[in-house]
Amino acid sequence: MKDAKTIAPLEGRDSKPVNPTLVELFLHISDVLAVLLAGILAFYLLDHKISEDLRSTYINIIGLGVILSSMSIFLCGGYDTDTFFNLGNSIRGMFTGFFLTISILLVAGFAFKLTGTFSRIWTTGWLAGATGLLVLGRFLVWMIALRMRKRGIFDSRVVIVGAGEQGERLCRFIKNSEWLTMNVIAFIDDRADRVPEAIDGIPVVGGRQDLIQLIRQNKVDQVLISLPWSAAERLREVIDDIAETPIKIRLAPDLAIFNFGDRTISSLGGLPVVNLFDRPIKGTRSLLKKAEDFILTGLIVIAISPILALIALAIKLDSPGPVFFRQDREGFNNSTFKVWKFRSMYHNMGQNDKIQQATKGDSRITKVGGFLRRTSLDELPQLFNVLSGDMSLVGPRPHAPSTEAAGVKFENAVHRYASRHRVKPGITGWAQVNGWRGETDTIEKLEARLHHDLYYIDNWSVGFDIYILLRTGLVFFGQDEAY
């Protein structure tokens, strides 16, 4: 058995890591100062316009804003540990919380008839200034925290119990993770004659007694037990030996679960289970999505009805045949529905089976049809698919069941392609506004679309939908990818 006192690779690691909650404290202070300083600065700039009897009222509302914003940002996840090193998540949580603060103040102002008490210039200046300072403060804290993390200041000292394939894979996962603040300093394994002396440069330092000695010497911050779950007796013995030590002990996943590393854990009657898949938009979120679709679509149809009429007239004047074209598409839960489109090809060249995607210079496309396709105006009748419940405004674009990429049907060409059908298809989507639209003639293009579609499904929100809709108008007009 090796002596933990003489293990060279562990020397110089006696200092404990900095607690990441210190960053949360800095964020709290930064946010409080941002709201406070913006309010005071706006107050003094308008000091000559504020009457003497209202000065204390202004100071009180600034104090209330500081307290509300701190609480709201906290409730909206603006101080969660995973936001410290992710600027986008940090600012998103801050914006959500501060918007909630503004909403509470406005509602309270209307309820108590105080909106006329405060200067609109001061209110606008305060809120705009606070928003700018909040973003600036979080950017500075993020830069400092990121630099500290790169130096390993937050890295907890981790020992992995188990030097087999499972432990090696866990170590590799930790090393390759961009966000984990962990540093594996050693492996522990009682099977000294069956394991190597080091794995990826990290020493195997002995057995359970060596681990306890390291813990007593305050050289370890947490232990990850990475043994096969089938070895129940061995697991129990290891846990019994180290359970009384004052340290964080975690049971790492079995080998099979490494394929689902991004899944969450929940309790099933007290039994921890891995949540592999679920309906992504359900409950109140589903109601919000439906309300968004019907309300926005109804308003859009009313607003663009003259444009729809003009397009219909142009199609009729350009070539003989119907104005609309209907074709099978795969939708939610792989169900088939008829999608509505403005006809963009000559009426005798449309396809409903073994569909050939349009290509550049396609002779089947009419003059008006070419313009409609380039600007995606041919998709506008799909607004009626949204109203009928077959589609959403935003979602993965629907494809015909027979469509192929590189001679292979979409569902056979890319693993998990059918996962797109866990939500309703959309008129526009995250893949489209990122340039992945038009002809999908290679597996690589299809994989890129799928990657963006799955990201959208996993990260859906009303705000995300609105952002995509706003980008749609900017991205689609003048693009060359659609033929």
Higher pLDDT, 262 or 393: 393
| Of the listed ranges 122-126, 360-364, 395-399, the one predicted with least confidence | 360-364
Structural element, H or E, at residue 221: none
Tell me what the mean pLDDT of segment 84-98 comes to: 84
- Residue 270 above 50 pLDDT? yes
Residues 383-404 pLDDT 10s: 999 999 999 999 998 887 766 6
Strand 336-342 to 404-405 pairing: unpaired
| CA dihedral sign of residues 448, 450, 456, 458 | negative
Tell me what the mean pLDDT of segment 124-135 comes to: 92
Residues 332-360 pLDDT 10s: 888 889 999 999 888 766 555 555 555 56
CA distance 244 to 189: 19
Tell me what the mean pLDDT of segment 463-471 comes to: 88
- Residue 3 above 50 pLDDT? no
Q: Please give the pLDDT value at position 6.
A: 42
Q: Please give the pLDDT value at position 1.
A: 43
CA distance 136 to 331: 44
CA distance 67 to 57: 15
Residues 52-78 pLDDT 10s: 777 788 888 899 999 999 999 988 888
Q: Where are the domains of the chain?
A: 4-14+155-275, 21-150, 283-476
Paired with 329 in beta bridges are 337
Tell me what the mean pLDDT of segment 109-115 comes to: 74
pLDDT-derived band of residue 49, with 50, 70 and 90 as boundaries? low
Considering only the top CATH level, what class is 4-14+155-275? alpha beta
